[in-house]
């Protein structure tokens, strides 16, 4: 009798947003994976909301060293958080969409089990996504760092007044401006906040960042695509309540004279997609490029 083929991705983590909608799907998926011969691992935050037997629970910080694959159940925000934690350890990620758009979590819940069965059998495509390493150098000499998969945003706060900042690229002065803020976006983040402020969509395989002003006072300040080997520095010259945000999840208050530097991270996020995945088909679906106004807003029945 021939030996059974080895189980692909033996140790699989299931990651959800604590208190989010993924409790029941995670429990069902854990049972599905165990029946296929996989070891299921949960971090303590996810496990606190899930009633699943026969799983291994580990501290959050120990998760990357104890798994071969992570399946994220949630929206793009949940995927961003997981990717920032796991990318330095080269752990691949699969996303099951429980949110709204789902640019990163591309497997519908209704097709979760058959799609994952095919992927765990080897029928998938792998994609590498660039991250940013963001460094905040304060005027008092202190330093803070954070990663970002989507973007880093320097912007005004709740007082509503514009900030003034200067932008350097690779040590060369580019411009100074008054604006609501400025975004440095990766190709992944080009379909997020940067898109809503008029930035370009950058395909994932294009080695570029987008530098996108937010509400500039001078309309001649336009989005710029720059090589992803560039180092972008943004210095706040005026702005009483400015702040810097990384993926909308890491936040730091800024004072005048503080400097934010963004550069390409030395590691990438590994995303696994179904074998049939097509980036432009995904954009067409999520952004309704094929829809007519009548199909987007059907008339009310009489």
What are the strands, taking DSSP E only, across the chain?
A: 11-16, 39-43, 56-58, 69-74, 92-97, 107-108, 124-137, 143-148, 151-155, 163-169, 172-179, 181-185, 208-214, 224-227, 232-238, 243-246, 250-253, 259-274
Chain-centroid distance of CA 231 in Å reads: 20
76 annotated active-site: yes
The answer to whether 225 and 163 have CB atoms below 8 angstroms apart is no
Taking each helix axis from N to C terminus, what angle separates 23-35 and 112-120, rounded to the nearest 10 degrees?
40
Type and span of the H or E element at 286: helix 279-286
Tell me the sheet residues that pair with 234. Answer: 167, 260
Closest of 71, 2, 76 to residue 32, by C-alpha: 71
CA distances from 239 to 54, 56, 91, 136, 140 (A): 53, 48, 39, 16, 17
The answer to whether 133 and 144 have CB atoms below 8 angstroms apart is no
Q: How much is the CA Rg of the chain, to the nearest whole Å? A: 21
Chain-centroid distance of CA 277 in Å reads: 18
CA distances from 26 to 10, 46, 130, 135 (A): 17, 9, 28, 35
The answer to whether 273 and 71 have CB atoms below 8 angstroms apart is no
User: Choosing from 43, 45, 68, 76, which is the catalytic residue?
Assistant: 76
Tell me the sheet residues that pair with 231. Answer: none
Cα–Cα distance measured from residue 202 to residue 104, given in angstroms and rounded to the nearest whole number: 15
Catalytic positions, please? Answer: 76
């Amino acid at each position: 009798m021939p030996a059974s083929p080895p189980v692909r991705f033996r140790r699989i983590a299931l990651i959800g947003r604590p208190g989010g909608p993924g409790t029941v799907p995670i429990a069902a998926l854990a049972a599905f994976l165990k029946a296929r011969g996989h070891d299921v691992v949960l971090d303590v935050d996810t496990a606190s909301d899930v009633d699943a037997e026969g799983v291994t629970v580990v501290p959050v910080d120990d998760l990357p060293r104890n798994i071969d694959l992570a399946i994220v159940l949630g929206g793009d925000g949940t995927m961003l958080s997981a990717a920032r934690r796991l990318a330095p350890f080269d752990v691949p990620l699969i996303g099951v969409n429980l949110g709204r758009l789902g640019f990163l979590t591309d497997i519908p819940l209704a097709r979760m089990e058959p799609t994952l069965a095919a992927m765990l059998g080897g029928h998938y495509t792998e994609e590498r996504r660039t991250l940013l390493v963001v460094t905040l150098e304060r005027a008092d000499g202190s330093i803070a760092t954070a990663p970002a998969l989507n973007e880093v945003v320097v912007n005004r706060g709740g007082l509503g007044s514009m900030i003034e900042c200067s932008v350097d690229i690779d040590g060369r002065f580019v411009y100074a401006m008054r604006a609501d803020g400025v975004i440095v976006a990766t190709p992944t983040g080009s379909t997020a906040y940067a898109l809503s402020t008029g930035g370009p969509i950058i395909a994932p395989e294009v080695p570029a960042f987008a530098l996108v002003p937010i509400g500039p006072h001078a309309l001649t300040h336009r989005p710029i695509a720059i090589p992803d080997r560039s180092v972008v520095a943004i210095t706040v010259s005026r702005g009483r309540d400015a702040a810097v945000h990384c993926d909308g999840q890491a936040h730091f208050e800024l004072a005048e004279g503080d400097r934010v530097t963004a550069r390409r991270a030395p590691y990438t996020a590994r995303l696994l997609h179904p074998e049939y995945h097509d980036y432009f088909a995904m954009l067409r679906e999520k952004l309704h490029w094929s829809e007519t106004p009548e199909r987007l807003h059907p008339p009310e029945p009489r």
